[in-house]
């Protein structure tokens, strides 16, 4: 890891050579170490092999002390609270907005924003593709909700997840955020052809708080994202998936891109 940190111009892959069930005299490097309980006798032998003499659920004091971060955590929290108190005094409006967003509360005027967006759409009564209608809605919502963080798995031009309020998110070679010409931080992530990566990253963003992530791809590619979609549903996280091209009438891309069973299968996921 220390050597990896010295690489400034390229990523590093660390390969760990591991043994499944390491320490178990009779189960190590076998499927039994993964799929079955070791059993009382094998646990006893494994403890002997590893030199672990402590009784079950007894943690040695030195080990507990090494992992006990309560005091350090309490000090770090107190220091953060002091800094935020000073920030709140200097920037009360921004501090209030920070608290709102970290709590996950929508702006007080959001209901009116939604009504206005619907009324505007009905008034104009434009004949547009559903993905364009989605973008029109996103234009209204991303302008009103600075916490909306968009993106697409290399299909922005097709999904239409970008808006005037969500310039592309960019970082330089040093990992520093690059701001737009008018000083904004980008709010639309180009995930590349990485549907699962996009869905998993959005889960992390939602768990962190302060942002409401949304990402787009073709509905048929929800297959690649399914595990992360299911995890978000199980955790009841506020993650928005924009699935376009949701018909067998997709056209020139052919059967591989034509969703048939996908809506029905997604509806089986609890909380989705």
Count CB atoms within 10 A of the CB of residue 215.
28
The tokens for 233 are 């549903």
- Report residue 173 as tokens: 């070679």
The DSSP-derived string for 87-106 is: HHHH-HHHHHHHHHHHHTPP
195 given a catalytic annotation: yes
CB 24 within 8 A of CB 44: no
Which of 149, 155, 219, 244 has the alpha carbon at shortest distance from 192?
155
Q: Are 272 and 227 in contact (CB under 8 A)?
A: no
If one counts every other C-beta atom within 10 angstroms of the C-beta of residue 164, the result is 9
Alpha-carbon separation of residue 101 from 181, 189, 207, 208 (angstroms): 25, 20, 13, 11
The one catalytic residue among 48, 55, 195, 252: 195
Q: Return d(Cα 132, Cα 128) in angstroms, integer.
A: 6
CA distance 202 to 212: 8
- Catalytic site positions: 195
């Amino acid at each position: 890891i220390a050597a990896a940190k010295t690489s400034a111009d390229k990523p590093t892959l660390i390969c760990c050579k591991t043994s499944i069930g390491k320490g178990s005299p009779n189960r190590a490097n076998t499927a039994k170490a993964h799929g079955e309980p070791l059993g009382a006798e094998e646990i006893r032998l494994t403890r002997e092999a590893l030199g672990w003499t402590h009784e079950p659920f007894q943690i040695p004091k030195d080990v507990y002390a090494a992992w006990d971060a309560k005091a350090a955590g309490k000090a770090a929290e107190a220091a953060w609270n002091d800094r935020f108190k000073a920030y709140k005094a200097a920037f009360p409006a921004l501090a209030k907005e920070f608290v709102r967003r970290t709590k996950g509360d929508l702006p007080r005027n959001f209901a009116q924003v939604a009504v206005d967006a619907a009324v505007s759409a009905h008034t104009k009564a434009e004949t547009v593709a559903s993905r364009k209608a989605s973008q029109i809605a996103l234009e209204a919502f991303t302008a009103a909700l600075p916490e909306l963080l968009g993106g697409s798995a290399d299909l922005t031009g097709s999904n239409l997840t970008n808006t005037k309020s969500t310039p592309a998110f960019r970082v330089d070679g040093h990992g520093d955020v690059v701001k737009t010409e008018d000083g904004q931080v980008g709010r639309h992530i180009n995930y590349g052809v990485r549907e699962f990566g996009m869905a998993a990253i959005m889960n992390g963003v939602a768990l962190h708080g302060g942002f409401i992530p949304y990402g787009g791809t073709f509905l048929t590619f929800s297959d690649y994202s399914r595990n992360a979609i299911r995890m978000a549903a199980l955790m009841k996280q506020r993650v928005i998936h924009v699935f376009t091209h949701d018909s067998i009438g997709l056209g020139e891309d052919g059967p591989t891109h034509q969703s048939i069973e996908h809506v029905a299968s997604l509806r089986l996921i609890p909380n989705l």
